[in-house]
Amino acid sequence: MKTSLVGSRDQIIAAAQTLCDEVESLRFGEPVTHVYNPLRYAWKAHRAYLTRVNDAGVRVLFLGMNPGPWGMAQTGVPFGEIEAARDWIGINEVVQRPDDEHPKRPVEGFACSRSEVSGRRLWGLFQQKFGDADLFFAEHFVSNYCPLVFMEESSRNRTPDKLPRHEREPLDAACDRHLVSVLESLRPEIVVGVGAYAEKCFQRVLGQCGFDARLTRILHPSPASPAANKDWAGTVTRQLTEAGVW
């Protein structure tokens, strides 16, 4: 792991604040009716998560797409399933509520009784592999590409790739700038896309900024994927081992 860089933590905190302000200036139309920005209303929890990063940089950076309604939308932590964020990562901050809250998608913070399967699988694998969270964060970190949650009137989740081009392009531009900042701050040797979308984001940004990192991909842990429902942890452990990550 690279040890020459100092101040990674402060840099990614500043980058997250900039991203928060930039995406809040954007507007989205139907079928999206509600947009949550956990970098704003869950900032205390998100900032606490960012302080877990190794200040000297990391060897491996994982990247997800955007928050889930029962994960980061509640906790401010990428893939932030409640128990994993609170009991393993060690974060339990007060979370405010978004201004325009969907009645079917309330933000209850760490009091939320729902469990995000994707987060339970991802952080559960890391806990199984490393035991102590400090051992994981010594060389690894997890970020999301886009910080926003998009919902339709029915409360159906709408992923960023499904937005119309005129809305997606300025959002991607802000998220690309943020990802460049994270890469330059953490200087990872290996970057891992959690799913195909995140892998494509890495490919695009690495091509733009010329940052030298080895790119690989793992199966997304979403239960919407039939493949993820068949020994996801075993499959991903093999993928990371074959890619030389572990």
Domain boundaries in the chain?
8-242
Say which CATH class 8-242 falls into.
Answer: alpha beta
Per-residue pLDDT of the chain (246 residues; tens, 9 = 90+): 444 444 799 999 999 999 999 999 999 999 999 999 999 999 999 999 999 999 999 999 999 999 999 999 999 999 999 999 999 999 999 999 998 899 999 999 999 999 999 999 999 999 999 999 999 999 999 999 999 999 999 999 999 999 999 999 999 999 999 999 999 999 999 999 999 999 999 999 998 888 899 999 999 999 999 999 999 999 999 999 999 999
Average pLDDT, the chain: 95
- pLDDT over 70 percentage in the chain: 98
What does the DSSP assignment read for 118-151?
HHHHHHHHHHHHHSSHHHHHTTEEEEES---EEE
Non-local (6+) Cβ contacts of 215 within 8 A are 190, 191, 192, 193, 199, 202, 203, 206
Rounded distance, CA 109 to CA 172, Å? 27
Specify the length of the chain in residues. 246
Contacts of 210 (CB under 8 A, 6+ apart): none
For residue 144, how many other CB atoms are within 10 A of its CB?
Answer: 26
For residue 17 the two structure tokens come to 């604040």
